[in-house]
A and B are shown apart, each in its own frame.
Chain A
Amino acid sequence: MTSEQKTPEDLRAFKVYAIKAGTVIDHIQVGRAMKIIDILKLASHKSTVTVGLNFPSSNLGRKDIIKVENRELSPEEANRVAIFAPNSTINIIRNFKVADKFKVKIPEIINKIIVCPNPTCITNNETMSSCFHVSHNGDINIIKLRCKYCEKIFIHDDIREYKS
């Protein structure tokens, strides 16, 4: 299945909420959109953000979509998305057209943004940045995050807090 061939359903997601410029994060695994809003701090941003939940999708069955107006996500921000939605695609929109489109890539190391869920980790008891090593056993939907400091291993659902 190629991602270039658009089904009518895929297109609908763009048409209904068409934006002039900004970013569309598409093919988000259902239920993960709110986590992504959190991790990218989109709720505190000045731009208009539209969230679509449970859209029908030919690939995923159902999917979530996020549209951010007048803001282009940087590759680094896109990689943060990959932690929670490894199959998602980023569409950069300029003048109502998809100017750039790429799949997110899971980073090897995540600095700063994730708060270590272990309350007795040194990172939660001293002013400092967290650091996690990311790994998965072939299945990108099940990633493991290993804290560089307390060495504990976490999965998606363990992560509750973020810093920007």
Chain B
Amino acid sequence: MSDLSTEEIKILEGLSKEEILAKLKSEAEEQHKSRKTFFGRDIISIHELSREGILHILKHSKGMKETPQPDLLQGYVMGSCFFEPSTRTRLSFETAMSRLGGKIIGFAEAGVTSAKKKETLYDSMKIIGQYVDVIAMRHPMEGAAQRAAEATDKPILNGGDGSNQHPTQTLLDLFTIQECQGKLDNLNIAMIGDLKYGRTVHSLAQALTNFNATLSFVAPESLQMPNYICDDLDKHGVKYTLYEKIADVVSSADILYMTRIQEERFPDKMEYEKIKNTYVLDSKMLISAKPNMRIMHPLPRVNEIATDVDHTPHAYYFEQAHNGLYVRQALLGLVLGKLT
């Protein structure tokens, strides 16, 4: 309390002890969120990142894309801990580390670790943390990355914890939007498909509360955006509208963010048969699209984007997947203190 000014002390005088503690705590959290130094920091949830923090990561991601830095992380080791398989995310993290000159140790499924012998995640991560400088991890349980962060003081990069968070996916989505639109603010973004269970679209919608987006949610009623996300958007004053047909949003959107509707989400197969072709995008539907409109998809796609869309100037999903590499390189450089 020694570095408080007289005015600050005066403000604090009128408050109870609990109120002062709460005030100090929320100030510390704000500072932590907006802190631009990422050295030593865990990247667990998109909620922990402020607008400034996100823009800082995206700036470095762009730098990585423009200027490769093959020696930046020479001498550093990344633990690649994949307690459930996710080849795409794992290869992206491991390639990011290799292309910065770092080394990788790790495993790609729970079967090869002590997890089968019922060792706690806490113990596993504490041990692995002693071998490496940074850890990229994926785990089937929600909250696993947060738990791992308590076990080790080495930075944790969350590559997915169950249905909860996958912040590097959200950051690469934001990076891709910024790249193809030349900006992140004031865009019209339509999300299409399974919005109820789609972790990707939940995190993206919440991250976009920082960027004054106008959102459109296109989904069958049973798979619409959950209330708790809509409540959060309301709280932040974000404008959003619900639709049932893709055709309703094509001409106004800057981004069409497609997701897959999985058959197993429908207990009634008839219901699935009825809607399955409603949420498929083909090139004929794009005639009224704005020239700058770009289509994104977290991949893998099945049939929700017809292959004839791939050759239109609107297709951007392969660039999007590619961008994951630069975002992960930037995060590795930042949390290891080699980028500032």
Question: Contact residues of A with B, CB < 8 Å?
Answer: 108, 118, 120-123, 125-128, 147-153
**Cβ-defined partner of A108 (8 Å) among B22, B143, B163, B228:** B22
Q: Is the CB of A122 within 8 A of B141?
A: yes
Select A150's contact among B22, B120, B162, beta carbons within 8 Å. Answer: B162
Q: Which residue of B lies closest to A118 (CB)?
A: B142
Which residue in chain A gives the minimum CB-CB distance to B22? A108
Say yes or no for B47: interface residue by CB 8 A criterion. Answer: yes
Over the window 30-52 of chain B, the binary record of Cβ atoms lying under 8 Å from chain A Cβ atoms (1 yes, 0 no) is: 00000000000000010100000
Which secondary structure dominates where chain B touches chain A? mixed
CB <8 Å contact, A122 and B146: yes
Whose C-beta in chain B lies nearest to the C-beta of A149?
B143
Q: Is B89 an interface residue (CB 8 A)?
A: no
Chain B interface, number of residues (Cβ within 8 angstroms):
20
Binding site for A on B (CB under 8 A): 22, 45, 47, 120-122, 139-144, 146-147, 161-165, 228
The docked-state distance in angstroms from the alpha carbon of A118 to that of B140 is: 13
Q: Which 9 A-B pairs have the closest CB atoms?
A: A149-B143, A150-B142, A122-B143, A122-B141, A150-B143, A122-B147, A122-B144, A149-B146, A126-B120
A151 touches B228 (CB 8 A): no
Contact of A128 among B45, B122, B142 (CB under 8 A): B122
**In the docked arrangement, what's the CA distance between A60 and B141, Å?**
42
- 14 contacting pairs across A/B (C-beta < 8 A): A108-B22, A118-B142, A120-B140, A120-B141, A122-B142, A122-B146, A122-B147, A125-B141, A126-B121, A128-B122, A149-B147, A150-B143, A151-B47, A151-B164
Q: Decide: A127 near B120, CB < 8 A? Known: A108-B22, A120-B140, A150-B142.
A: yes
Chain A CB within 10 Å — which of B140, B143, B164 has the most?
A: B143
Judging by beta carbons under 8 Å apart, are B147 and A151 in contact?
no
Q: Nearest B residue to A105 by beta-carbon distance?
A: B18
Complex: A125 Cα to B141 Cα, angstroms = 8
Specify which chain B residues have a CB less than 8 angstroms from the CB of A149 in the assembled complex. Answer: 142-143, 146-147
A123 neighbours in B (Cβ, 8 Å):
143
Task: Say yes or no: B142 contacts A121, CB within 8 Å.
Answer: yes
Query: For B120, what are the chain A residues with a Cβ–Cβ distance below 8 Å?
Result: 126-128
- Which of A122, A127, A148 has the most CB atoms of chain B within a 10 A radius of its CB? A122
Residues of B within 8 A of A122 (CB): 121, 139, 141-144, 146-147, 161
Having A120-B140, A121-B143, A152-B164, one finds 18 other A-B pairs with CB under 8 Å, namely A120-B141, A121-B141, A121-B142, A122-B121, A122-B141, A122-B144, A122-B146, A125-B141, A126-B122, A127-B120, A128-B120, A128-B122, A149-B142, A149-B143, A151-B45, A151-B164, A151-B165, A153-B228
Measured in the bound complex, the distance between the Cα atoms of B140 and A150 in whole Å is 11
**In the complex, which residues of chain A have a beta carbon less than 8 angstroms from the beta carbon of B161?**
122
Chain B residues with CB under 8 A of A125: 141
Residues in A neighbouring B142, C-beta threshold 8 A: 118, 120-122, 149-152
Roughly how many angstroms separate A126 CA and B147 CA in the complex, as a whole number? 10
Nearest to B18 among chain A residues (CB) is: A105
Q: Which residues of the partner chain A approach B47 to less than 8 Å between Cβ atoms? A: 151
Measured in the bound complex, the distance between the Cα atoms of B120 and A98 in whole Å is 48
Are the C-beta atoms of B162 and A120 separated by less than 8 Å? yes
Q: Whole-angstrom distance from the CB of A127 to the nearest CB of chain B? A: 7
How long is the Cα–Cα vector from A22 to B140 in the complex, in angstroms?
Answer: 47
A150 and B44 CA atoms in complex are apart in Å by 11
- Closest Cβ of chain A to B258, distance in Å, is 25
A122: nearest chain-B partner, CB-CB: B143
